[in-house]
Amino acid sequence: MLQYLIILLDETSTSFCHYEAPKKERKLISLDTLRQGIRFGMMENLMIQYVYPDYELPDEYKEVIESIDHSKIKPMAEDADVLVMNKIEAVQTDIPVVLRIGKQELFAHQKEVVAMLKGAPRLNVVLTDVETFTDEDFDAYKKVLAALSAEVEKLYVEGKSPQLNLLTDRMMLSQMNNCGAGDTSITLAPNGKFYVCPAFYYDDEADSIGDLEQGLDIKNKQLYKLSYAPICRHCDAWQCKRCIWLNRKTTLEVNTPSHEQCVVAHLERNASRELQHNIRKHGTFLPEHEEIKEIDYLDPFDVREDW
C-alpha cells in the first residue's frame, strides 16, 4: 500500500540514495505542480517527503511546502529532517545524517565515519557503487564492518544508543524493512510526472508511472512487492534496501537482485549478528529482539534448493 510521496522540488534536488542526480541546471517544480502534488498526497493519505536542492527556495514555495505535514530531505542542515552529505566531514547535529560515499572512501576513512556517527543521532551510510564490488572488496568490507562494530560496541557500553544503518538496523528489526519504491512510495518529479523513485526519473524521463492529470499507472505493480521477489522473500537480511533501481540496472528485472547487492547486505547482516552477540556480553541489550541466526551463505540464490 502506498504510504509516501517523495517530491523532488528541483531538477538539481540532492540524491539521498544509490543513484546520482546528474542535472546541473536549476529548475524548480512549478508552484502549480507542487500544489497539485500536495493535493494528490492529501487525497491518497500519503506522507510527503520533500527533496531539496542546495539553494534557498523562494518564499512563495516555502509557504506552499508548509501547507501540509511533511519531512525535509536536504543537503544543508538548516530546517532539515534528514541531512544528506556527499563526503566524509566533521558533523555535530541533532538530525539524522545520510552519508553517500563510494566503497574506497569508506575503506580508507573508517575512523572519520565513526566520528560522524558520534556527531549525529543516526548515520545512514549509502554506498554509491555497490554494483562494482569484487571479491576483494567483499573482504575489505567485512573488515571495515568488524572495525566499525567494535566502535559501536564501545558506544553501547558507554550507555549510548548509536544508530549506524549498516550494523544496528538489522538488530532492531523483526521483518523486512526495505526501500519500498513502487510499492509503499512513489516520486513526483518537477515535470509533474510520477516515477518509481528519483533514480528512475534521472535515468529516463520517459519511464514514468503516470502523471498528475491522469493519475498513477504502475504496470505490473505486483513486481515491486516483496511477495513477488523470488529471492528476497526467502531472505532475512531485513536491513537490505532491496534497491529496485539497482536490480533493474544489474539484472534487468526489478524484483531480482544482483549478487553484489546480496553479498554486501549479508556481510552487514552477519556483522550485526556479531555485534548483537558482543554487546550482550556486557548486559541485557535489546532483549525483545531475537538472536540473529548463524547462516553459511552470503547470497540466498546459492541456497535456492533449500527453499
| H/E run at residue 254 | none
| Residue 304 CB, nearest approach to ligand SF4 (Å) | 11
- For the four alpha carbons of 189, 211, 200 and 37, in that order, the dihedral sign comes to positive
How many degrees, rounded to 5, is the angle at CA 265 between CA 263 and CA 269? 110
Nearer to ligand SF4, 100 or 241 (CB): 241
Residue length, the chain? 307
Q: How far is CA 24 from CA 21, 98, 178, 271, 300, in A?
A: 8, 21, 30, 38, 39
| Residue 263 CB, nearest approach to ligand SF4 (Å) | 8
| Residue 280 CB, nearest approach to ligand SF4 (Å) | 24
DSSP state of 249: H
Q: How far is CA 129 from CA 52, 154, 231, 251, in A?
A: 23, 29, 22, 15
Amino acid identity, position 8: L
Nearer to ligand SF4, 266 or 273 (CB): 266
Nearer to ligand SF4, 120 or 167 (CB): 167
| Residue 4 CB, nearest approach to ligand SF4 (Å) | 19
Nearer to ligand SF4, 18 or 266 (CB): 266
Nearer to ligand SF4, 107 or 301 (CB): 301
Nearer to ligand SF4, 171 or 231 (CB): 231
| H/E run at residue 303 | none
| Residue 249 CB, nearest approach to ligand SF4 (Å) | 13
User: Among all chains, which residue has been given the C-alpha cell 539553494?
Assistant: 55
| Residue 237 CB, nearest approach to ligand SF4 (Å) | 4
Nearer to ligand SF4, 35 or 259 (CB): 259
Strands (E), 91-140: 97-101, 123-127
| Residue 298 CB, nearest approach to ligand SF4 (Å) | 9
Query: Which residues contact ligand SF4 by CB under 6 A?
Result: 231-232, 235, 237, 240, 242, 257, 261-262, 265-266, 300
Nearer to ligand SF4, 166 or 237 (CB): 237
Nearer to ligand SF4, 154 or 225 (CB): 225
Q: Which three cell numbers stand for residue 58?
A: 523562494
CB burial of residue 135 (10 Å; 0-12, 13-18, 19+): exposed
| Residue 106 CB, nearest approach to ligand SF4 (Å) | 18
Pairing of strands 210-211, 47-51: unpaired
Q: How far is CA 40 from CA 159, 190, 194, in A?
A: 44, 15, 11
The phi-psi region of residue 97 (left if phi > 0; otherwise alpha if psi is between -120 and 50; otherwise beta) is beta
| Residue 121 CB, nearest approach to ligand SF4 (Å) | 26
